[in-house]
Amino acid sequence: MSPQELRAGASLAGIFGLRMLGLFLILPVFAVHAPQLAGGDNLTLVGIALGAYGLAQAVLQIPFGMASDRWGRKPLLIAGLAIFAAGSFLAAGAQDIWMTIAGRTLQGAGAISAVVMALAADLTREQHRVKTMAMVGATIGFSFALSLVAAPALYLVIGMGGLFSLTGVLALAAIAVVIWLVPEAPRRVHAAEGAGRGALRKALRDPQLLRLNAGIFVLHSVQMAMFVVLPPLLVAAGLPVQSHWKMYLPVVLASFALMLPLVLHADRRNAGRGVMLGAIALLALAEGGYALSGPRIALHALLLLAFFTAFNVLEALIPSLVSRIAPEHARGTAIGVYNTTQTLGLFVGGLGGGWIAGRYGAAAVFGACAVLALAWLALALGMRPVNRIAAESFTMGTVKGR
């Protein structure tokens, strides 16, 4: 990779990391904190508060992506981060669950994920795009993991309002990174022709992208549903909130050690499909194990290791596959569709997890997650290896072998 490609990957991964860290800091502690809010004893509303971010993102990812195809990536990045910061500060002052939902919704309205990924693809050559997307995707997993370790300790010091305020400050810091560190994207001569209904139709109909979009929907549905019920389970197993880092830190470090060789193997050997299938199967195994397990701490640690390894691999791998299939002139649009399904999964997972937990208990939540993962595995089995020919065929409206 050239120095500019390394700079682009590192700076964009930093933006994603700052924003996602701010988002994920809420997950490990909100379900424990929610009963202190008016209306927070309703698990369905707690799930909506966690997932409202995803619903707003789902509505706005495609418009943000299409707008960035026409008017440039950086202006959309700055606007989206400013909106996210405003939502964070609104949620920081919430005294009831409804104000928290409003703040989370406004956070989600800063829908920049597709823009970040499209700009990362704009600034890197084809042969290095997997590495760049892996940098961005792995940052999501790292931010998630760091939040699980840091959030319980921060919550005890600054409270939930402080955590939301911190998310706003991190978003403002990300704006500074956009302005001063992210390279300018090359001029896209065909941007206006590429953005629009034709590109959107192709992105919605392409069978390779459909499989990846469905997969990221399942992954984030599982993630959000799981963390509606997991923190209270750890407390019930004898691990107080302030000690959750003792579980998360070693598990997270071990999962990254396992993830890195798998992602590198997928890149060097063009083995993305096989690695992806193995990670999906591991995800299903982890969720099924949770559905059948008891409250033992050691078993929690083993199942969390399986979950985090699968999650980190998939978060690093899937965006790189999408970027290779999506054509240059409509990359923002195609990635916008991908990120719409991703963030819709956050909403559905939060809402569904809260609803199932309130009526059938935590084991039913994990069982539903296992079924979703198995359905994804069955769908992904029909996916063909992704290569440059597939991306060029998409540009013409057909994928080779369709």
Q: Please write the tens of the pLDDT for every residue from 158-181.
A: 988 998 998 899 889 889 888 888
Q: Which CATH number belongs to the domain containing residue 110 in this structure?
A: 1.20.1250.20
Mean pLDDT estimate for the chain = 79
* pLDDT top residue among 245 and 56: 56
Residue 328 has pLDDT above 70, yes or no: no
In a domain, 51, yes or no: yes
* pLDDT top residue among 181 and 3: 181
In a domain, 402, yes or no: no
Report how far residue 142's alpha carbon sits from residue 256's, in angstroms, rounded to the nearest whole number: 8
Q: What is the pLDDT of residues 54-101, one digit of tens each?
A: 788 778 877 887 788 777 788 889 999 999 999 999 999 988 899 999
In a domain, 401, yes or no: no
What token pair was written down for 206?
Answer: 């392409």
Report how far residue 18's alpha carbon sits from residue 117's, in angstroms, rounded to the nearest whole number: 15
Q: What amino acid is encoded at 312 in this protein?
A: N
Of 27-41, 99-113, 185-199, 259-273, the least confident: 185-199
Cα 65 to Cα 62, 73, 90, 171: the distances in Å are 5, 8, 25, 19
Name the CA radius of gyration of the chain, rounded: 20
Confidence of residue 126 (pLDDT cuts 50, 70, 90): low
Structure confidence at residue 337 (pLDDT): 79
In a domain, 226, yes or no: yes
Cα 97 to Cα 28, 29, 109, 396: the distances in Å are 17, 15, 19, 48
What token pair was written down for 349?
Answer: 């997972």
**Number of domain units in the chain:** 1
The percentage of residues in the chain with a pLDDT greater than 70, rounded to a whole number, is 83
Report how far residue 24's alpha carbon sits from residue 256's, in angstroms, rounded to the nearest whole number: 17
Confidence of residue 399 (pLDDT cuts 50, 70, 90): very low
Give the domain extent around 78. Answer: 3-183+192-395
pTM of the model: 0.70
228-237: average pLDDT: 84
**Three-state secondary structure call for residue 179:** helix
Burial class of residue 292 in the structure, from the number of CB atoms within 10 Å of its CB (0-12 exposed, 13-18 middle, 19+ buried): exposed
384 neighbors 208 (Cβ within 8 angstroms): yes
Residues whose CB falls within 8 Å of the CB of residue 316, separated by 6 or more in sequence, listed in order: 133, 134, 137, 138, 141, 259, 263
Confidence of residue 280 (pLDDT cuts 50, 70, 90): very high
Residue 364 has pLDDT above 80, yes or no: yes
In a domain, 400, yes or no: no
